[in-house]
Amino acid sequence: MAKVAVVTGGSSGIGQPLSLMLARDGYDLLLLNRGAARSAPLLKTIRGTRPDIRADVIETDLMDHASIRRAAAAVAERAPAVAVLVNNAGVLTRQQRLSPQGHDSHFQVNTLAPYLLMNLLRPLLAAAGRSRVLNTGSSAMSEPFVGPLKVDELSRPRRMDILGAYAQSKLALAVIGEEVAPDFARDEIIVRTACPGANRTTMTREGDGMPWILQALVPLLFAPPEKGVATLHHALAGADLGERTGIYLEKRKVKALPAKVRDPDLRARLMSLMQAQADA
Ligand SMILES: NC(=O)c1ccc[n+]([C@@H]2O[C@H](COP(=O)([O-])OP(=O)(O)OC[C@H]3O[C@@H](n4cnc5c(N)ncnc54)[C@H](OP(=O)(O)O)[C@@H]3O)[C@@H](O)[C@H]2O)c1
């Protein structure tokens, strides 16, 4: 049986060619996407390219914990082990949209859903042996877009500043990657976070969360999604990275997280927020 990769956000943007690349690498794919219809073109391409691998969609709404838990259970029904988990789905919007559990969509989809999936799928990741988790981060978490990590406001930002809630959610995701890595290493699971760079996707071309001046420059300055895929693929499997875990990458280089997130108390508060949600 082929190794299994679980991917979120495979229905558009960077996630589509990323899924195709994993199929080319020989992984069977379980795609946690919102709509079967939206995934149909990708499935057709994958099956045309690699008819020997299995690719299935498990309908999942990452805004809803119940849906995430159902998806993890469905993965367990179909696969005894998961070699790769890519938490690639992401949200960037100016609106405050709340999940059924009352979380802003940035925190829910960009931070909490990856954390829940990592933990729910951990037994399957452990069963695969030397498995990998890749969380798609964003350099938007760097200055000037984001100030200090506001743990108390992650779930419900007081203001929807441009890129603010997005940057906070991605900064939290990168810290979480560093924090969980030593424990996941006990099960030989490597955890990494990587920014794919600036890519022309639905989020950047059409989304309402981009600063308008930057959006005008997307056709000129942003790369096609295939560039982001190559960057993420390197973060997942680059030979130069060996077995390094808990790292954050930008432009294919390991980069230290901002000094502002070194405070152990801040990290402890973040991890207890995450744990409380995982237990809820
Ligand atoms: N593009 C860039 O320049 C850039 C830069 C840095 C980081 N990133 C990150 O790269 C990742 C991919 O983004 P993209 O640029 O490819 O954007 P995109 O084309 O908008 O793709 C976003 C993906 O997330 C999925 N998603 C959003 N909410 C979901 C939900 N509630 N349940 C299930 N799936 C959901 C979308 O599914 P639907 O098709 O159902 O909407 C879509 O597949 C994101 O994590 C993003 O933050 C992108």
**Residue-level pLDDT, tens digit, the chain, 280 residues:** 679 999 999 999 999 999 999 999 999 999 999 988 889 999 999 999 999 999 999 999 999 999 999 999 999 999 999 999 999 999 999 999 999 999 999 999 999 999 999 999 999 999 999 999 999 999 999 866 677 999 999 999 999 988 999 999 999 999 999 999 999 999 999 999 999 999 999 999 999 999 888 899 999 999 999 999 999 999 999 999 999 999 999 999 999 999 889 999 999 999 999 999 988 8
What residues are in contact with ligand 1 under a 6 Å CB criterion? 8-9, 11-15, 34, 38, 60-63, 88-91, 109, 136, 138, 195-196, 198-199, 201-204, 222
Phi-psi region of 63 (alpha: psi -120 to 50; beta: other; left: phi over 0): alpha
Distance CA 117, CA 115 (A): 6
- Which mutation among 7, 8, 12, 135 tests ligand 1's pocket best, with the greatest number of atoms within 8 A of CB? 12
For residue 91, what is the domain's CATH number?
3.40.50.720
Distance CA 66, CA 78 (A): 19
How many domains is the chain built from?
Answer: 1
Q: What angle do CA 93, 173, 229 make, to 5 degrees?
A: 75
Q: Which domain holds residue 108?
A: 4-279
**What's the gap in Å between 92 CA and the centre of ligand 1?**
8
**Residue closest by Cα to atom 7 of ligand 1:** 138
Distance CA 229, CA 231 (A): 5
- Which mutation among 141, 201, 208, 218 tests ligand 1's pocket best, with the greatest number of atoms within 8 A of CB? 201
